[in-house]
Amino acid sequence: MSEPIAFARDRIEALRDQIRAADHAYYVLDQPVLSDAEYDRLMAELSELEAAHPELRTPDSPTQRVSGAPSEKFARVVHREPMLSLGNVQTDGELDELDARVHRMLGLPPEEPVRYVVEPKLDGLAVELVYERGRFVQGSTRGDGVNGEDVTVNLRTVGRLGANRGVPERLAGSPPPRLEVRGEVLLQKHHFAAMNQVIARQGGEPFANPRNAAAGSLRQLDWRITANRPLSFIAYEALAPGGDAGRDPGRDRWKSHWQKLQELRDLGFETNPENRLCLGMGEVKAYRDRMADRRFELPYDTDGVVVKVDDLDWRRRLGAASKFPRWAAAFKYPPQEEATRVEKIWASVGRTGILTPVVEVKPVRISGALISRATLHNEDEMRRKDILEGDWVLIRRAGEVIPEVVKPLPERRTGAERPFVFPATCPVCGARVVREEGEKVYRCTGSACPAQLVGRLTHFAQRRAMDIDGLGDKLAALLVERGLVKEFADLYAVPFEEWQKAFSRPRKVDAKGQKPELPEKSAQNMVEALERSKKATLRRLLFALGIPQVGEATAATLARHFGDLERFFAASEEELIGVRDVGKETAREIRAWTAEPQNQRVVRRLLDAGVTAAPEEVAARGFFAGKTLVLTGSLARRSRDEAKAEIERRGGKVSGSVSRKTDLVVAGEDAGSKLKKAQELGVKVVGEEEFDRLLAEPGS
């Protein structure tokens, strides 16, 4: 190599390292180490050197992350081998059953210990990376296990801002001709906290947890955003397909999973240093217990451990069931519980007027979060659990998210504890509180209750209802507090100057003693959003009104059945029962609401304000028109009813069972027998990502 080329190579690598360090300090730590001018000079020098020596330019260079347009959508990737999920176990007995099944299916004597590899269960987004002749050529999400999303460009950026090795562009050592690596994209806890701080300072909405943040960051259509998120990648599986006459080179290359993990590390991937090789189920349980004690000290979130048979030939013999491999399982830790004291119980008033008992406890840290309150749902639940004010209780985070009171500790009672009695009047507005016969909840009867009004306004304004952009909780509370809005129609009569005041910040008096003019842009945007919302459909309006038992799917069904608002209000309870999917209780609730003069007046005032309720249109063309679909498993982005409404609105039909006449099956998480039936019949199956893409297609 000539001296000039060697100098250029060294200088290029030094510049890249310096620029990446500056990116990390700026985007992750929010502590710039270079001025804008210094940063621009370094980038310009790097660009000039790469232009002079194009053979030294690489896809992971900082110069390659600042050009090109964002992708319009993700392409579909079909996994060569399905990315199966793991069956969950939660007890020692279930672990013993796993071990016994392995022994039984392999014909091993009970006393012969099986080698298992045990790994922390990572809480991130599963992906697959494909390498050909040592170069990274494609990356995809797990998706539904069969079809994933092509996020190759985004994955090239993973690890660029973190301290880990990320996704290697070129492998070290001697990789096989084709290598498929599976692992988890995640955010370390300190990266997550720093990233959320930056997002909050920029006026964005911080992510709820590291898993959501990792998934949201990797699925960005603009890969430049992903490049500025401090994502990590940890590898935990490798496949080496191909070879002559279908021969599997992985069969000869690796004899054990542990050997596979060692080579992944040698090839340049980050593997988990907490992985352990255990001989027998006794060592697996001991490892699990140690990790349970240490899991909150780890730099990433984990909610269990993954147990895998180490011998790869044994794995092939064990095979897989329809959804889970028989050679592995995920042991989920039970939600962590802590003892704390109930300081008081009080009634919270929700959007629909329901009073919910809320337990306020002495703050306690659970699963890394400080918990100070939890809901008891209703009086029956509170009495069943026998929770008293002043009690010591066990509290946990159900699903590691929602605080839940498990039970009281009666042995620690002193006699000073007292039962909570629901108030006879609303704690917010003073109206009478009632519990109707057959109901589990108490309700406030005040139609002008501020606690309900704020919630009703934000529900009315949400995207799937009247879609009034910008009208959130804080603004709704301000409108109610100032007496500007007492019911929905008042929104359309708020003077422009009041909107200006609502959006204004504290203003300083200038040198002449004059206050600056009130803001017009935000106020004008709100007025325009309100004007657009007047052109509603009947489905949106019925959902927006907050009628008891009427969610988005039921609103769509009612809109299609009745066609216009007048017919809906005139419908008797018997006519409502005749609507598909509307039962007796729902019909009774709807009729009671439509018969209430106050509610009739609310709707009449909306119509007088110019709100329209156009009939629900069913698409006569598009992908879903005339097709029969089946939904199975749980969907992350919408409820089953909401998905059904979207399909029917586009002219499709949703069936409860799979047959040869089924056109498409949408499979969410934990899909069961319907998925298996579809596969047996050869019916097309898509995951939620593909379903969303079909919904978004033009004409659908």
Give the residues across from 139 on adjacent strands: 129
Would you state the pLDDT for residue 620? 61
Spatial separation of the C-alpha atoms in residues 42 and 22, rounded to whole Å: 11
Would you state the pLDDT for residue 244? 38
- Picking from 20, 380, 61, 460, the residue whose alpha carbon sits closest to that of residue 53 is 61
450-533 and 536-614 share one fold: yes
Alpha carbon 588 to chain centroid, angstroms: 35
pLDDT in tens, 636-658: 777 777 788 788 878 888 888 89
> What distance, in Å, lies between the first and last C-alpha atoms of the chain?
59
Domain 628-696: CATH superfamily, name plus number: BRCT domain (3.40.50.10190)
**Fold of the 3-65 domain:** Helix Hairpins (1.10.287)
Task: Between 200 and 669, name the one with better pLDDT.
Answer: 669
- Hey, what amino acid is at 587? A
Q: Over range 483-500, report the average pLDDT.
A: 92
Domain boundaries, the chain: 3-65, 88-332, 337-433, 450-533, 536-614, 628-696
Secondary-structure class of domain 337-433 per CATH:
mainly beta
Would you state the pLDDT for residue 105? 94
**Using 50, 70 and 90 to split pLDDT, how confident is the model at 36?**
very low
Least confident interval from 161-165, 250-254, 593-597: 161-165
- SS3 for 111? coil
Kindly tell me if the per-residue pLDDT of 120 is higher than 60. Answer: yes
Would you state the pLDDT for residue 295? 84
pLDDT in tens, 588-604: 888 888 888 878 888 99
Kindly tell me if the per-residue pLDDT of 260 is higher than 90. Answer: yes
**Using 50, 70 and 90 to split pLDDT, how confident is the model at 179?**
very high
pLDDT in tens, 463-489: 889 999 999 888 998 998 898 998 899
Would you state the pLDDT for residue 243? 44
pLDDT in tens, 341-364: 999 999 988 767 889 899 999 998
Domain 88-332: CATH superfamily, name plus number: DNA ligase/mRNA capping enzyme (3.30.470.30)
**Using 50, 70 and 90 to split pLDDT, how confident is the model at 332?**
confident
pLDDT in tens, 371-394: 898 888 888 888 888 999 999 998
- Hey, what amino acid is at 491? L
Would you state the pLDDT for residue 645? 78
| Highest-pLDDT range among 249-253, 471-475, 568-572 | 568-572
pTM summary value? 0.47
Spatial separation of the C-alpha atoms in residues 417 and 147, rounded to whole Å: 56
Stated length of the chain: 700
pLDDT in tens, 404-445: 888 888 888 999 999 999 999 888 878 778 887 777 788 887
Catalytic one of 73, 121, 534, 677: 121
Instruction: Enter the CATH code of domain 536-614.
Output: 1.10.150.20
Task: Between 529 and 592, name the one with better pLDDT.
Answer: 529
Contact indicator for 214, 151 with CB cutoff of 8 Å: no
Task: Between 249 and 209, name the one with better pLDDT.
Answer: 209
Would you state the pLDDT for residue 160? 73
Record the tokens describing residue 533, joined without a space. 């919302």
Taking CA 184 as the corner, what is the angle to CA 180 and CA 190, rounded to the nearest 5 degrees? 145
Would you state the pLDDT for residue 60? 67
* Sequence-ordered list of residues with C-beta below 8 angstroms from that of 372, at least 6 positions apart, any chain: 360, 361, 362, 363
Would you state the pLDDT for residue 278? 97
Q: Does the domain at residues 450-533 carry the CATH identifier 1.10.10.10?
A: no
Would you state the pLDDT for residue 35? 45
Kindly tell me if the per-residue pLDDT of 266 is higher than 90. Answer: yes
Q: Is residue 121 flagged as an active site residue?
A: yes
Least confident interval from 44-58, 158-172, 241-255: 241-255
Place of tokens 């007796």: 584
Q: Over range 514-527, report the average pLDDT.
A: 77
